[in-house]
Structure 1
């Protein structure tokens, strides 16, 4: 029987009270805070905000709990932007939307930093045996390399491998976790060229091999092209993540039918960028639309989530979508009971 899991990709919007407190403490603007440099008054605000978002996920009935990535001012670029051997360049646009991040310029060896592991450990400390499993979030190696500027390694394949090794070292320092989501929208937005495409599954395997948890490579901002999709399936992962909100979802179905799919699948069914809050029934229908069109596939596990990180949403809309995703997973379990 298929297991249905309500979850999120992480990268939550910062709770309103935390925004206000940070503004009072430091005139907080996007990109102001560098990991390890924050005074205790700042870290206390983030600790309190983390407790808030963990409690909200419990209340929403989600089946995985994430830390929230509340300090990730540079979104997916964060793990590099806070690294000692990475300088932050100018402000650049984050894919094709109105969000921005500081360009991380890699100027030295990508040694382990421990920044994200400390956040994941803080979330783990908030959970007990009655809570759902912890889910960790990282950028996928290809997206992190794509969002950065390499001023040290000098070769695309070598740089991608270095980014993957860096991420693997971070994963090795994580506390116990049930699932790892690798967010890899660049596979859709700026797919690798022929010279780099075959190296992508190798890079993913490097990261996935660092954990015993289930690994999901979560893609979004549209459908993968055929070549990239086929290469992604060469990676040793438990689930591929697919955007079912984007208008090109017919291509997503075609890829799954033509090239096959992983035993588990993660489906982006709630719009992570639109303030319209879909009903649980609508989310379930989107998931069923996909699974019904993939013949002879009995998925072992289906994750339901927002299609993108919910960073873009107002906090109240984000919370409402958490509730809807949790309820949609419950509906799936009722229908398939």
Structure 2
């Protein structure tokens, strides 16, 4: 019997009160906010907002609690945009969505900063799930002005992320978010390197590692290489392209755990627990695999949503996992 685990990929919308308070505070603070040089009032506001989203997950009955990544104004690029050896460039488009981030331009050696670890340490709830950009997506979103070679740059990003993980507090699960595997898939010369980079990052933790992909299905060859990475689960976007994602699973196999993106992280329509359960059951019934664990999750990050819809979707995910346990 498959154990269903309700969770999310993180990157939450700021609570409404926090948007107003932080906008005013940042407008008055002198200093380089981009590099993480935040005054005590801003730090306190983020902590109170973090407590709010942690409480929302706990109240919804989620099985894994994420920190929420509320400081990640630049989305997946954030861990680099706050790095001392990275210059934050102008605003560029975030994949094919109407969202934007600052271009992180790596100008010197990437060393571990401890920024994400500090966020995780401020969470007093669990079991905790850490969230990071995957090495391929982070290298795809960044500009290399130091290493000078695509393979060397990808290696450096992987080593940097592994160094960040070394400082993490205890965590049950790590979600590596890799939408670039779908949106800008590696070419023939990079596919194996991308898989090896993911493998190296995963090796830095004893937690279960989920490589979560979204905005479509992973191209076949890229997926075949991803299967070589020693991770515990691959995440699939069953909202955007369910049939092709299922094809990959049945054609090339998958891990003995799976993450199922069965809630739309970009649409304000709130799925019922029964709808979420139906989508999950469709995967479990049609996949030619038996899974020890299946993560019920949103297909994408949730920062696109209004706060009330975001909270409703958390509740629906928690309720869906409970329904599954009752019916199993």
Under a length normalisation based on structure 1, what TM-score does the superposition of the two structures give? 0.95
Q: Distance in 1 between matches of 2:260 and 2:16?
A: 28
The match for 2:179 is: 185
Per the alignment, residue 295 of structure 2 pairs with 303
Q: Does 1:233 align with 2:227?
A: yes
User: 1:217 Cα deviation (Å)?
Assistant: 0.2
* Structure 2 CA distance for aligned equivalents of residues 141 and 335 of structure 1: 38
Q: Distance in 1 between matches of 2:57 and 2:33?
A: 26
What residue number does 2:120 align with?
120
Where do 5+ consecutive residues of structure 1 fail to align?
A: none
Deviation at residue 2 of structure 1 after TM alignment:
1.5
Once the 2 structures are TM-superposed, how far is the Cα of residue 290 of structure 1 from its aligned partner?
Answer: 1.3
- Confirm whether residue 269 of structure 1 aligns to residue 262 of structure 2: yes
SS of 1:111's equivalent in the other structure is coil
Provide the residue aligned with 1:212 in structure 2. 206
CA positional deviation for 1:26: 2.3
Query: What residue is the counterpart of 1:83 in the other structure?
Result: 83
- Displacement after TM superposition at 1:34 (Å): 2.4
How far apart, CA to CA, are the structure 1 residues paired with 2:26 and 2:152?
39
TM-score by length of 2: 0.97
Residues in 1 aligned to 2:272 and 2:258: alpha-carbon distance in whole angstroms: 21
- 1:201 counterpart = 2:187: no
C-alpha distance in 2, partners of 1:93/1:36? 22
User: Secondary structure of 2:117's partner?
Assistant: helix
* Partner SS state of residue 34, structure 1: helix
The answer to whether structure 1 residue 291 and structure 2 residue 284 are counterparts is yes
- Displaced runs of 4+ in structure 1, greater than 4 A? none
Aligned to 2:246: 253
How far did residue 36 of structure 1 move?
3.4
Q: CA deviation at 1:292?
A: 1.0
Deviations 1:222-281 (A, max 9, x none): 0011001111110000000000000x2211111100000110000000000000001011
* Distance (whole Å) between structure 2 residues aligned to residue 20 and residue 187 of structure 1: 35
Rounded to whole Å, the distance in 1 between the matches of 2:291 and 2:78 is: 33
